[in-house]
Amino acid sequence: MTSNKKYKLEYWIDLSILNKEDFEKEISNKLSRLDIEREITEKRKFYSLKIKGDKQNVDACYDKIEFEREGVFRANDELGDELRGNAYKILSEIETELRKFISKTMIEVAGFAWWDQLIPKNLRERAIEIEKSSGKNEVKLHHPIEFTMFDGLIEIVTAEYTEWSKEKPLTVSDLEELLNKYDSIEKLKDGLANKSKTISIWEDVFSNYFDDKETWYELKEKIKDRVIPIRNKVMHHRLLRVYEVNQLEEYRTQLNRTIRGAKRKMTKEKLSKAFKKWSSIFEDKMFQIDPEILKAVSTPIIPPATIKAMQEIGVINISAIQKFLEAKEFQRLYFEIPDLKTGTNDGIDEEGENNETDTNNDESDT
């Protein structure tokens, strides 16, 4: 049923753009086919163009009235205000559904510690910044996901992550951390590959809840490409169109239908696999070295020659370090140390020569 409601739209236009006669002629040409009432009055510093019409015709005016943005101000826009109000309600419902779905799913995968165990550090830090301005009572009463912005929710569901990008600068400290964890060149290569591997929460967690994965793929693309831009218009009082609000209503319906069609639970095997993968990827203490080994290596176990070589290279990235690991000289300097757990490098002198003595007798004594 078509509404008979009339909406007021008013523009202020810089007097220097056109004289009044030319301005009236131009407006008449642009808006002549629309069923609206219009009035142009000249003020001290601007023309006031007042328009009144139904939703369809006022919405069409947005396309017809085009001037340089520095010389035009939308002083009153009743239709725009109504559209933003309707869009805000729809966006709120979409956000609420996403937060509930993310929370329920993550609790099932990782328990109530999911936020710290499975969510990337950059998203947690953003939420903390919002918490700081919200007051202690607000923080105490709400889960961190309630302080996550809409784009952060979308990022949790749709984005792909890698702990270390291929071009991440690696310093000597980074290399020392890697070497302290792995005791063979193959393990080091595997560890480095794992840290630079691209992974997706969608692929490893959320997709397991849907049989019709294609529907979700389409929806998440719409959310990224359409919902977020519309949301930005609403929040920053930008021009909003009738068709955009209609799109939001369609996306809300599709999201609700998709989420309601999700499985209630994953299998225990899939839950275990998802948890192990994500807790190892995003846990703050990525390198959990055995305490005894950590105690033993309180003194550097990396040969001075290796440190010197890395310092000469300076800051490198993962791609470069992967090539560096192939070098025989590097493997000889580090991985031929007799016992990493001793915290010493007695097996080589400063020139990198082997100083092993009476190894077999030492072993027989033990």
Three-state SS sequence of 6-25:
CEEEEEEEECCCCCHHHHHH
Instruction: Report long-range pairs for 313-319 (Cβ below 8 Å, ≥24 apart).
Output: 315/169, 315/170, 315/171, 316/169, 316/170, 317/166, 317/167, 317/168, 317/169, 317/170, 318/164, 318/165, 318/166, 318/167, 318/168, 318/170, 318/192, 318/195, 318/196, 319/166, 319/167
**Partners of 256 in the beta sheet?**
none
pLDDT band at 56 (very low <50, low <70, confident <90, very high): very high
Tokens of 28: 């008449």
Distance of CA 59 to the CA centre of its chain: 34
Tell me the average pLDDT across 67-93: 91
Q: 335 vs 7, which has greater pLDDT?
A: 7
**Torsion 89-91-92-96 (CA) sign:** positive
Residues 223, 33: Cα–Cα separation, whole Å: 35
Residues 23, 154: Cα–Cα separation, whole Å: 46
Least confident of 88-102, 245-259, 282-296: 282-296
**Partners of 39 in the beta sheet?**
50
pLDDT band at 257 (very low <50, low <70, confident <90, very high): confident
Which single residue is written with the structure tokens 């218009």? 233
- pLDDT value for 36: 95
Residues with Cβ < 8 Å from 34, sequence gap 6 or more?
53, 57, 60, 61, 64
Tell me the average pLDDT across 267-272: 73
- pLDDT value for 308: 55
- pLDDT value for 39: 95
- Residues 150-178 have pLDDT tens digits of 888 878 877 676 767 666 666 667 767 77
- Residues 37-48 have pLDDT tens digits of 999 999 988 999
Q: 350 vs 109, which has greater pLDDT?
A: 109
H/E element, 40 = strand 36-42
Is residue 144 within 8 A of residue 115, CB to CB? The reply is: yes
Tell me the average pLDDT across 9-21: 89
Residues 25, 121: Cα–Cα separation, whole Å: 59
Residues 80, 237: Cα–Cα separation, whole Å: 9
Q: Which domains does the chain have, with CATH numbers?
A: 7-67 (3.30.1370), 84-162+199-260 (no CATH), 169-190+289-360 (no CATH)
Residues 128, 5: Cα–Cα separation, whole Å: 45
Angle between helices 78-110 and 242-260 (to 10 degrees): 20
Is residue 163 within 8 A of residue 201, CB to CB? The reply is: no
| Confidence (pTM) | 0.62
Residues 106, 116: Cα–Cα separation, whole Å: 11
